[in-house]
Structure 1
Amino acid sequence: MLHSFKTLARDNPAVRALLLRGLSRLRRLAHAPPGLYTLCYHHVPEHHRAGFAAQIVHLRRHGRFVGADEAVGLIASGAIGTGRHFLVTFDDGYADTVEVALPVLREAGVPAILFLVADWLDAPPSNPPGPYAGRALVAEWLEAGMEIGSHSMSHARIATLDEAGAEREIAASRRALEAATGRPIRHFACPWGVAEHDYRPGRDPALALASGYATFFTTRRGVATDAGDLPLMPRHVLEPEWPVHELDALMGARRARLARGAHLARGAHLARGARLARP
């Protein structure tokens, strides 16, 4: 039943919007627990520039933006638990990440990481939804102080590959991107990022860490709180046109005081019932 409801919400925009509107009445980023909330974007087209900027402003009210390397340091030291932190990531390497999103990020002083598909840097797919960032745009991104990570060699579904294929997608893509950019590549984002379907949890995160990455990013929702999350980093996949109340619904939490009050009220109600039931 729950799976059917999730499928209905995913495939029906009106149902999804109604559901998230309702959840946003109960959940707020202001009440979310401390930790690292990683945001995953793909396209940021020009006509959604304002929506993306509004999301950045909204998130800034509720936490601090950090880069990927800083996030790892905070997690490793335990300091990630001192407050809410937001990490902005972009998958695939679309040109509008640099042309549209970068100016918004620079104006706001927000760091971000772009996960590139190594084979696409010089030979991007000709089919939509490109265009993709070439070397000139990647250089512009790096000159702005942003970070680069790997999104595999060819955007293959790594779970379907043998050991040698997985090694090429994960480890060899790191070497290729370091050679292309002259920068260390310390973070890996798995294409699609669903356990068992897109990567093998018992093989691929360990391969990433053994080959020199500090992280292996997935697309499971959640908040990273300690070093145990580094091999399976959660991310919230977002679209730049979503209204900010949907970010509250997806990443926020109920106010703890209200939840505790409801628990106490329920306890008092049960105690009163017990007294009335006595002979």
Structure 2
Amino acid sequence: MPATPTFAETAAEAWPPISGWGARARSAARAARIRLEALKQRRQTEPFVRCLYAHAVFPDTVPTFRAFLKAAKQEGEFVDTPTLRAIIADGRPSDGRFFHLSFDDGFASVYEAGGPVMEDERVPYIMFVATDLIDADPDTLAAYFAHMPAYQARVRTLDWDQAKAAATGIGEIGCHTRTHARLSKIGHDPARLTDEIAGAKAIIEGHIGQRCDSFAWPYGTASDIDEHGRAAIADAGFTSNFSAVRGAVRPGVTDVMDIPRHQLEFHWPLHELMVWARGFREA
């Protein structure tokens, strides 16, 4: 009988420790820069619209996650994706302070450990899922994580019951393709693009019983998508598309089909999370 696959159930199990003198030196320098920025920053009072995203909320990071949400709520209001789209489309400078929170890849910990916290704090969120990873068999997950060197162990993904439950609460389910495909690599294959984008949208809608309007392209940099991928996303009927490129969201200027986001992860220190939430390197 094959062995039952093991999964990371804590942040320490999921992400590898920093090793090697070069990596440790770079990490120390980065930490020093962020600590200096944290000392310089002040609580925000000027209007802003800022999109934040992460991947997981493991049980060992729940205290930091809750503390972050409470701290961020002192500086701005968390809004859902339809509200974000309306703010962008309004075209007038925002007179409020708004955060939008999303999670990529559809890891179960977001719903299991993070979901109750977000329900308690009344923070709306969206999970961008790669549909072939939901309810996936061990071989599929093993193949996926073999190409994701940022992780030292496999991480459990949602099942469809959890995805539907999230969507019926204060969560949303967005699309992250079927297989976590790099769209710039398949732009020459219209059938594959359609399957990865429109096909994934149909799968999500079939399982959760709601429209899926939002997309985030895997890997998230400008080089990971091309004009063919962008056209396929629009043709599939998505009304918002998110990158992983840091930047400011500016009503009337930001393209709703190319929304920037700031990455943060909740095993990072709280002061570091707040540095990114306040728009460090946003310009």
TM-score (norm 1): 0.80
In 1: Cα distance, 2:162 partner to 2:219 partner = 24
Residue of structure 2 in register with 1:129 after alignment: 154
1:91 to 1:10, Cα distance in 2 relative to 1, 3 A: farther
In 1: Cα distance, 2:88 partner to 2:43 partner = 20
- Write the letter of the residue equivalent to 2:141: S
Contact 1:205 / 1:232 at 8 angstroms: preserved in 2?
Answer: no
Structure 1 range deviating more: 121-130 or 165-174: 121-130
In 1: Cα distance, 2:24 partner to 2:98 partner = 27
In 2: Cα distance, 1:217 partner to 1:22 partner = 29
Q: Which has the higher helix share?
A: 1
Residue of structure 1 in register with 2:85 after alignment: 72
Match of 1:179 among 202, 206, 227: 206
- Write the letter of the residue equivalent to 2:267: E
Cα distance, 1:13 vs structure 2:
2.5
In 1: Cα distance, 2:53 partner to 2:43 partner = 17
- How many positions carry a matched residue from both structures? 244
Contact 1:118 / 1:173 at 8 angstroms: preserved in 2?
Answer: yes
- Spell out, residue by residue over 1:183-240, the C-alpha distance to the aligned partner (whole angstroms, 9 max, x if none): 10000011110111x111x332333123211111101111211354211110111111
1:10 to 1:105, Cα distance in 2 relative to 1, 3 A: farther
Q: Which has the larger radius of gyration?
A: 1
- Write the letter of the residue equivalent to 1:73: A
Unaligned runs of 5+ in 2: 1-21, 143-152
- Write the letter of the residue equivalent to 1:139: K
In 2: Cα distance, 1:38 partner to 1:253 partner = 10
1:136 to 1:204, Cα distance in 2 relative to 1, 3 A: same
Match of 1:60 among 63, 73, 79: 73
Q: CA RMSD in A?
A: 2.2
1:155 to 1:108, Cα distance in 2 relative to 1, 3 A: same
Residue of structure 2 in register with 1:212 after alignment: 237
Contact 1:9 / 1:16 at 8 angstroms: preserved in 2?
Answer: no
Unaligned runs of 5+ in 1: 1-7, 255-279
Q: Does 1:233 align with 2:246?
A: no
TM-score (norm 2): 0.79
- Spell out, residue by residue over 1:29-86, the C-alpha distance to the aligned partner (whole angstroms, 9 max, x if none): 515x533211111111100000111111111011110001111112112366122211
In 2: Cα distance, 1:231 partner to 1:152 partner = 16
Residue of structure 1 in register with 2:125 after alignment: 112
For 1:136-151, list aligned pairs within 5 A. Answer: 136-151=161-176
In 2: Cα distance, 1:244 partner to 1:133 partner = 26
Contact 1:94 / 1:131 at 8 angstroms: preserved in 2?
Answer: yes
Match of 2:49 among 23, 28, 36: 36
Structure 1 range deviating more: 79-88 or 113-122: 79-88
Residue of structure 2 in register with 1:166 after alignment: 193
- Write the letter of the residue equivalent to 1:209: A
Secondary structure, in 3 states, of the residue corresponding to 1:166? Answer: helix
Identity %: 29
For 1:77-92, list aligned pairs within 5 A. Answer: 77-78=90-91, 81-92=94-105
